[in-house]
Structure 1
Amino acid sequence: MTKKNLFTLVLCLFCLGTTTHAQHIPTLEEAVYGGLIKTEGGSNVSWMKDGERYSKIEKNAEGAYEVTAYKAKDNSKEVLIPANMLLNPQTGKPISVRNFIFSEDNSKVLIYTNTRRVWRYDTRGDYWVLNLKNGKLQQLGKSLPEATLMFAKFSPDASRVAYVSRNNIYVESLVDGKINQLTQDGNNEIVNGTFDWVYEEEFNCRDGFRWSPDGQYIAYWQSDTQGTGWFDIINNVDSIYPKIQRFPYPKAGTANSAVKVGYVSADGGNTTWLALPGDARNHYIPRMEFIPGCNELFIQQMNRAQNTNKVWIAKIGENTPVNIFTDQDAAWLETNDNVRWLKGNKYFTWESERDGWRHLYRVSRDGKEIKPITQGAFDYIQEVGADMDKGFVYFIASPDNFTQRYLYQARLFGNGEVKRLSPVDQSGQHRYIMSPSGKWAVHTFSNSETPPVIDMVSFPAHKSVRLITDNAKAKEQYKALGLQPKEFVKTRSGELELDAWMIKPVNFDPSKKYPVIIDVYGEPANATVQDVWSGGSLWHQYLANLGYIIVSIENRGANAPRGREWRKCIYGEVGTFASEDQARGIQDLARQYSFIDTTRIGITGWSGGGSQTLNSMFRYPDVFHTGIAIAFVADQRLYDTIYQERYMNTPQNNPEGYRKGSPISYAAGLKGNLLLIHGTGDDNVHYQNCEMLVNELVRHGKIFSQISYPMRSHGIYEGEGTSLHLRKTMADYWLKNLPAGGK
């Protein structure tokens, strides 16, 4: 019998239940590729500088792409760039627009096209400039190799454009087309105006230069990767001889790139390097921006342990910065994004956990005064926007339900009081894309059973002025499937209460006992127990209706808004608390719900979740009987410096923590069924992790299964049929090794 016929037979037998209404249980193909539930009205919009309109790329009546703008107030439409202005002057063919950026005065627009992927994102391609006054379209960097331009930006007066190509910075005049190369030393090891792999992955840094407000200077980062360990990925599938892909990748405890920042005249000349103290290889500079309206740089510098963030101000014309403020934490700090300057640059906003909760503060320019903008026993999650005229800041928080998200308002110069604005009758998660003025926002509401409802709201009253889409059809499509909803429940790990959810089969019989598959992540970068629309969770629904109860448990250390102690109690011991909470959590759920079969418990996860799967299988072999670990870190010393050391310090300073947190240390504990899945082209969590773990399992005589996907990256999606094959493999392994169905 083929696997497909086996799945069909199991599904048909299992679905012969006592349900009284029609259901459509997703097939594997439908779960992987979608199509059963079709949502509309994407909420990703680009607000224009006036704060009253947002722009979009749309098709016109003839099917050609054009750029349009809509007024927030009445939805009136304006065509900003008609399709006939987006034709290649040489070929007459339409330019495929990946992105567009207006100049400050809206007289010109940068068109980004012909893009190439660089690690995570397609940040390399070609740029064109369209003059909206005369319709002239000119390509930038024509003397440079095709599709090598990155991060093109107009000068403040829109007379020039700066960009990066092959690790050097250029400025091109839009008047005469003259190209001025500002840096000369960029090569495979010296990186100007962009970043190495680890800065992109862990600090979300890619665009590495800034125009000064007066347009006279460019400040930029330089990374010297010499001395950093280079990692090799072997490509065995694209030719008859292997090809080697090499890139600098600093593993925990090893040498980082030497990173520094400086500024250079936009007309060319020597770079002035800023004299930030400390070893450039043992400090990080994750953020640098010009203070609005002046030629002063606001720089965040972290020590290697990432528990101290020093804020510096550096003036153009000087190379010695002034330290105005220092933030510290006994565990670690995050970078501060969305720093907002107030009262003519006399104050700036700053996020901190100094009182045990993450809050927003107002800091004086000299750093001597720090006052709370928000306060209380809750976490400020993220800023949405601000109305500077009225003095309000808008932000996301969820004091009463850690799985949900709501909009709150506070005064920038108030007493710390906050006010909830999201409607009380919409329980779930709310997302906002707010206009620069803070007067309008595209608002998206959803929960685990409600597809996105999108409307335009006005502020400060949070008044809905227009429905964009209610996705009523998608809601009916979901309802018509007749699936069991995702249930949010509580469980315990000792005295600690944990959030969790479960999905049951459609013909669930509470008098029977069912096997459980736990979907885990468990590391500080994410959270899985979220009351938000996720496409109907069709993959989990598919698994549930093979005859499983699907569960996810939010362990300590996960990125949930439960306060500093919740998130940072794991410092120095990533992996130990997570697996303990998963084991105790499922045991407590089994005590609460008699239908959970404790003899059939499975666990699976991807990336950090793969690591927690292994830790759970190895450390608690009598609790977890079958596991599928995907793209996992087996030994924490094999992961990068910035992420791993942020939560663990270095292996040299915390050898016991690295040993305890690494699954490979406990490989001898394996008793159950284990499947390892990894892409050999994973530049993030290297395939080396899988091979080292396999070596250790073999040494201990442990039997396991393994599948490797040639030259697939961390997401294991490249190549025709890959995603479906991976999910088929997982489903087949569960059916064969964790018997399905109620007993």
Structure 2
Amino acid sequence: MKLNKLIIATAFFLMWSGVCSAQKTLDLEEVITGQLIQTQGIGAMTWLKDGERYSRLERNTETGGTDVVAYRAKDNKREVIIPSTLFINKETGKPIPIRSISWSADNEKVLIYTNTKRVWRYDTRGDYWVLSLKSGTLHQLGKELPESSLMFAKFSPDGTRVGYVSNNNIYVEDINIGQITQLTHDGSRTIVNGTFDWVYEEEFNCRDGFRWSPDGNYIAYWQSDTEGTGVFDIINNVDSIYPTILHFPYPKAGTTNSAVKVGYLPASGGTTTWIKIPGDPRNNYIPRMDFIPESNELFIQQLNRTQNTNRVWIATIGNATPVNIFTDTDAAWLDVNEHIQWLDKNRYFTWESERSGWRHLYRISRDGKDIQPITKGDFDYIEPVGTDIQKGLVYFIASPDNFTQRYLYCANLSGKGEAKRLSPETEPGQHRYNMSPTGKWAVHTYSNASTPPIIDMVSFPKHQSVRMLEENTKAKEQYAALGLNPKEFVKVTSGELELDAYMIRPVNFDASKKYPVIIEVYGEPAGSTVQDVWGGGDLWNQYMANQGYIVVSIENRGANAPRGRKWRKCIYGEVGTFASEDQARGIQDMARRYPFIDLSRIGITGWSGGGSQTLNCMFRYPEVFSTGIAIAAVADQRTYDTIYQERYMNTPQNNPDGYRKGSPITYAGGLKGNLLLIHGTGDDNVHYQNCEMLVNELVKAGKMFSQLSYPMRSHGIYERPGTTLHLRKSMAKYWLEHLPAGGK
């Protein structure tokens, strides 16, 4: 009898355990801390110059330091190429913490970046050390300069010197004798040499502001004069009993920019020759400048202030007057060309353009007269992956048939023939590649919304999988154990326009009932939300779905999706208006298609530009959206920076009606539903000023709302202990209290 009871009890326990392993309840704290699904990668990797091996930094458990380890692509042979024992600081006897390393051209020296400090979004200040592999000697650069003040250190082409920036001046240090030569002397609070002001970093991704010439005799660099640019102040009330104020130049739409110019000077010291690029330096931008390979010629891109004309200049060392070799134009805006590659002994360069109505790659002669498409067709060239010069192939990402997915294609550099898809047909979703410099190998990462990353080594040109590097089997099991409803990718319409969308249904979903909806929106040209990619399993949205909501995202017109120029640029001059219209029409159409959507319970939320769209939707379509949470939102487009806002809207002076119509603050009196405003008071990107200006208008209009401010948190609202969990708990609480959950 006891045995039978034991058998029954054991059977019940096993059955109960199976149920629990099949479905684990989401816990918000576990969602936030990332404990539920733990994916593995191969870490940051760098292809070595031979193109046959890649290196990684790996912790050595015995020494407590870091080894530099190389892996051979062909057979995964592992070799410690720099042992952690060489990274010991002899003064302290401790290993140097390594943020990153870079190699000299001859592979005989390594530059070590450590002790880093954050500058705006990125940790671009720190200390640098040089390790000589032949002698094993290790010494710190710039010891005479303040701690953690060096930026963008890089070897000269011959590896004998290192250039770097400190306190807005450029220095060159001779590695062998330790002699430091200060090249610029006018760096100050307002004169910035070799790096950039806030707006260039944020909107042009510019931080490293100097270049060695290929022969090592010259350094070319940017200089920004921020004098006359509006200065924004952020008040820190939490770190001392008296407030401190952070001042920084921030040009708001329609106001004065920094004056930016480029020049060059001898690497041994001397006078700067400023390149005489025509145009007012405060009303033109120089977002890219680099030396043409194996030459003393600079290839410079100059955008006009409205960013619809990109003039390409070539300037030669020894001559201050550049030559305009090519000009690209667009009726709306142009994006900076990031990935210039020189071909056929520098007779041609590659260029991305939307001149055909689709983004494609072109081959342009250096006199600008011969312009030939490398890729062509009714699809967008999304981004480059690599080039095999010997075989005459270019590899790139595209997705002609499904705008939520990404695949690898190849095309002939000659432009002959059609592009060919290489990513496997059996793997729907998104594919990323880190390709070797020869184009022979790539580390390939595949995922989709319900499949954690699968990483393998592939060989080209056949895209043959050589070995699995990480299958993430455990992460798959962890995801399956949660018993979640996967994202469903669907189509909805706004008028006659078809839009991509996704939805997540709650567990225990009952199609006979009606459920409330939470829409996740971004909606601006800088990004897109409807992506068939892993994204950590999107557990925050899954958590909210399982509270009894259908979570939805709709990709409105103007979002950065590979749907052609017209799709992206039809919103020019009217950012915010089409987005809110498409969100309102899109969710109404979705409710017609799916009767389980309760149109009386529609919520919407977004961050940054998504916060702005949330406000526009709440104010302009109050009959559709009953509840909203707007995070770090731009309330008045005039308060945002020149480069971003004017790119899509022109200036407030030239487009006052567009700024008025696109700014949520214009329609604050239209609020009827429940609104929560969340903002960090230390936001250097979208200033807390936006929240205060909007609150002022809402109060004036007699509108009731809720507000949550996070002291001295930046745009991401993540700094300081407990912030992220508190933010998400507050959002969940607000939804549950103001947008009743569950099917009815």
Q: How does 1:302-317 map to 2 (within 5 A)?
A: 302-317=303-318
Question: Does the 8 Å contact 1:43/1:444 carry over to 2?
Answer: no
Determine the structure 2 residue equivalent to 1:33: 33
> Does 2:46 match 1:76?
no
Structure 1 CA distance for aligned equivalents of residues 498 and 306 of structure 2: 30
Q: How does 1:250-261 map to 2 (within 5 A)?
A: 250-261=251-262
Question: Does the 8 Å contact 2:22/2:480 carry over to 1?
Answer: no
Q: CA RMSD in A?
A: 0.9
Determine the structure 2 residue equivalent to 1:688: 689
Cα distance, 1:60 vs. partner? Answer: 2.5
Structure 2 CA distance for aligned equivalents of residues 494 and 506 of structure 1: 32
SS of 1:566's partner is helix
Q: Which amino acid aligns with 2:217?
A: Q
Question: Does the 8 Å contact 1:451/1:533 carry over to 2?
Answer: yes
Determine the structure 1 residue equivalent to 2:505: 504
Q: How does 1:554-593 map to 2 (within 5 A)?
A: 554-593=555-594
Question: Does the 8 Å contact 1:373/1:416 carry over to 2?
Answer: no
Cα distance, 1:674 vs. partner? Answer: 0.1
Question: Does the 8 Å contact 1:169/1:192 carry over to 2?
Answer: yes
Q: How does 1:264-343 map to 2 (within 5 A)?
A: 264-343=265-344
Question: Does the 8 Å contact 2:372/2:415 carry over to 1?
Answer: no
SS of 1:482's partner is coil
Structure 1 CA distance for aligned equivalents of residues 266 and 511 of structure 2: 72
Structure 2 CA distance for aligned equivalents of residues 300 and 355 of structure 1: 21
Determine the structure 2 residue equivalent to 1:708: 709
Q: How does 1:489-568 map to 2 (within 5 A)?
A: 489-568=490-569
Identity fraction in percent: 75
Determine the structure 2 residue equivalent to 1:366: 367
Please identify, of 76-85 and 311-320, the stretch whose mean Cα deviation from structure 2 is larger.
Answer: 76-85
Structure 1 CA distance for aligned equivalents of residues 162 and 100 of structure 2: 16
Q: How does 1:390-539 map to 2 (within 5 A)?
A: 390-415=391-416, 417-539=418-540
Structure 2 CA distance for aligned equivalents of residues 111 and 61 of structure 1: 20
Structure 1: segments with no counterpart, 5+ residues: 1-18
Cα distance, 1:33 vs. partner? Answer: 1.0
Structure 1 CA distance for aligned equivalents of residues 688 and 422 of structure 2: 47
Structure 2 CA distance for aligned equivalents of residues 20 and 561 of structure 1: 41
Deviation per CA, 1:207-234: give whole Å up to 9, x if none: 0000000000000000000000000000
Deviation per CA, 1:18-63: give whole Å up to 9, x if none: x999421211101111111111123641111111111100023514
Question: Does the 8 Å contact 1:432/1:442 carry over to 2?
Answer: yes
Cα distance, 1:414 vs. partner? Answer: 2.8
Cα distance, 1:416 vs. partner? Answer: 5.4
SS of 2:382's partner is strand
Structure 2 CA distance for aligned equivalents of residues 694 and 61 of structure 1: 54
SS of 1:256's partner is coil
Determine the structure 1 residue equivalent to 2:49: 49
Deviation per CA, 1:163-214: give whole Å up to 9, x if none: 0000000000011100000000001100000000000000000000000000
Structure 2 CA distance for aligned equivalents of residues 740 and 91 of structure 1: 59
Determine the structure 1 residue equivalent to 2:100: 99
Cα distance, 1:338 vs. partner? Answer: 1.0
Structure 1 CA distance for aligned equivalents of residues 726 and 524 of structure 2: 27
Q: Which amino acid aligns with 2:47?
A: W
Structure 1 CA distance for aligned equivalents of residues 676 and 499 of structure 2: 27
Q: How does 1:128-207 map to 2 (within 5 A)?
A: 128-207=129-208
Determine the structure 1 residue equivalent to 2:661: 660
Structure 2 CA distance for aligned equivalents of residues 294 and 50 of structure 1: 23
Question: Does the 8 Å contact 2:65/2:97 carry over to 1?
Answer: no
Cα distance, 1:415 vs. partner? Answer: 2.0
Structure 2 CA distance for aligned equivalents of residues 616 and 44 of structure 1: 40
Determine the structure 1 residue equivalent to 2:743: 742
Deviation per CA, 1:311-356: give whole Å up to 9, x if none: 0000000000000000000000000011000000000000000000
Determine the structure 2 residue equivalent to 1:14: none
SS of 1:41's partner is coil
Structure 2 CA distance for aligned equivalents of residues 67 and 338 of structure 1: 28
Determine the structure 1 residue equivalent to 2:113: 112
Determine the structure 1 residue equivalent to 2:9: none
Determine the structure 1 residue equivalent to 2:24: 24
Determine the structure 2 residue equivalent to 1:10: none
Structure 2 CA distance for aligned equivalents of residues 612 and 388 of structure 1: 45
Cα distance, 1:65 vs. partner? Answer: 1.4
Cα distance, 1:480 vs. partner? Answer: 1.1
SS of 2:731's partner is helix
Cα distance, 1:64 vs. partner? Answer: 2.9
Structure 2 CA distance for aligned equivalents of residues 331 and 543 of structure 1: 39
Question: Does the 8 Å contact 2:65/2:87 carry over to 1?
Answer: no
Q: Which amino acid aligns with 2:526?
A: A
Structure 2 CA distance for aligned equivalents of residues 612 and 45 of structure 1: 38
Determine the structure 1 residue equivalent to 2:643: 642
Scaled by the length of structure 1, what TM-score is found? 0.97
Question: Does the 8 Å contact 1:372/1:416 carry over to 2?
Answer: no
Scaled by the length of structure 2, what TM-score is found? 0.97
Structure 1 CA distance for aligned equivalents of residues 505 and 417 of structure 2: 43
Deviation per CA, 1:364-413: give whole Å up to 9, x if none: 01000000000000000000010011110000000000000000000111
Structure 2 CA distance for aligned equivalents of residues 68 and 445 of structure 1: 24
Q: Which amino acid aligns with 1:347?
A: Y
Structure 2 CA distance for aligned equivalents of residues 680 and 100 of structure 1: 35
Structure 2 CA distance for aligned equivalents of residues 625 and 74 of structure 1: 58
Question: Does the 8 Å contact 2:350/2:361 carry over to 1?
Answer: yes
Question: Does the 8 Å contact 2:618/2:671 carry over to 1?
Answer: yes
Determine the structure 1 residue equivalent to 2:10: none
Determine the structure 2 residue equivalent to 1:8: none
Deviation per CA, 1:465-520: give whole Å up to 9, x if none: 01001111111110111111110010000000000000011100000000000000
Q: Which amino acid aligns with 2:523?
A: G
Q: Which amino acid aligns with 1:58?
A: E
Deviation per CA, 1:224-280: give whole Å up to 9, x if none: 000000000000000000100000000000000000000000000100000000000
Structure 1 CA distance for aligned equivalents of residues 97 and 604 of structure 2: 43
Question: Does the 8 Å contact 2:375/2:411 carry over to 1?
Answer: yes
Question: Does the 8 Å contact 2:23/2:480 carry over to 1?
Answer: no
Structure 1 segments of 4 or more deviating over 3 A? 19-22
Determine the structure 2 residue equivalent to 1:214: 215
- Aligned length, in residue pairs: 725
Cα distance, 1:644 vs. partner? Answer: 0.1
Cα distance, 1:556 vs. partner? Answer: 0.3
Deviation per CA, 1:645-671: give whole Å up to 9, x if none: 000000000000000000000000000
Q: Which amino acid aligns with 2:487?
A: K
Q: Which amino acid aligns with 2:245?
A: I
Cα distance, 1:94 vs. partner? Answer: 0.5
SS of 1:430's partner is strand
SS of 1:380's partner is coil
Determine the structure 1 residue equivalent to 2:91: 90
Question: Does the 8 Å contact 2:301/2:310 carry over to 1?
Answer: yes
Determine the structure 2 residue equivalent to 1:262: 263
Determine the structure 1 residue equivalent to 2:8: none
Question: Does the 8 Å contact 2:65/2:96 carry over to 1?
Answer: no
SS of 2:535's partner is coil
Structure 2 CA distance for aligned equivalents of residues 42 and 451 of structure 1: 14
Question: Does the 8 Å contact 2:224/2:260 carry over to 1?
Answer: yes
Structure 1 CA distance for aligned equivalents of residues 566 and 32 of structure 2: 37
Q: Which amino acid aligns with 2:36?
A: L
Determine the structure 2 residue equivalent to 1:9: none
Structure 2 CA distance for aligned equivalents of residues 390 and 220 of structure 1: 35
